[in-house]
């Protein structure tokens, strides 16, 4: 019985320790006037289902490798950034193309096209798909969210994913 309990506790510890990690998401202090709210989190294909309720299958089917999540604040605004690392750039592009809002697309940085709404920014660069959200779903201004998304997207390796051909 003790072995079963020990094995179960070890399994839980391994899963929980795998859920921490910033990956390529920098701490708030490296992004100017942003601050960290919580510790960074990361998820693998085995743990993604604990973070997403009902949407994980799509990402796994598209070539999901890892998800990095970090919560930032600036003044009285709070933001959640999700950075999906996919198996390759075409996988990141497919995810972006499936969720983009063509009427909200604009250049975010250096030729990178992003879907920029009042409370969310979505973009893809290299093998990464970025989703930045203002935690206030009724947010109408997105200047801080755009700045945060831009600062995270710029240093990521790889080419920007183009928007739809017009």
Residues in the chain: 166
Q: b/e per residue, 147-161, with b = 16+ CB within 10 A?
A: bbbbebbeebeeebb
- Residue ranges and CATH numbers for the domains of the chain are 20-153 (3.40.1000.70)
13 vs 81, higher pLDDT = 81
| 73 has pLDDT over 90 | yes
Per-residue pLDDT at 43 exceeds 70: yes
pTM over 0.75: yes
pLDDT score recorded for residue 163: 54
CB atoms within 10 A of CB 21: 15
Task: Report how far residue 110's alpha carbon sits from residue 112's, in angstroms, rounded to the nearest whole number.
Answer: 6
Looking at residue 76, what DSSP letter applies?
A: T
Check residue 138 and give its pLDDT: 85
Q: In this predicted structure, what is the pLDDT of residue 162?
A: 64
């Amino acid at each position: 019985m003790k072995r079963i309990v020990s094995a179960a506790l070890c399994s839980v510890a391994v899963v929980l320790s795998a859920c921490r990690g910033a990956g390529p998401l920098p701490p708030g202090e490296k992004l100017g006037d942003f601050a960290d709210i919580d510790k960074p989190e990361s998820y693998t294909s085995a743990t993604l289902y604990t973070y997403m309720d009902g949407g994980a299958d799509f990402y796994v089917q598209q070539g999901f490798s890892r998800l990095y999540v970090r919560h930032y604040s600036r003044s009285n605004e709070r933001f959640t950034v999700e950075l999906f690392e996919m198996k390759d750039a075409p996988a990141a592009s497919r995810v972006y193309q499936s969720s983009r809002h063509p009427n909200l697309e604009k250049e975010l940085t250096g030729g990178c096209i992003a879907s920029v709404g009042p409370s969310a920014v979505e973009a893809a660069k290299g093998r990464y798909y970025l989703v930045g959200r203002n935690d206030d779903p009724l947010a109408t201004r997105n200047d801080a969210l755009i700045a945060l998304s831009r600062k995270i997207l710029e240093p990521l390796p790889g080419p920007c994913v183009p928007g739809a051909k017009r």
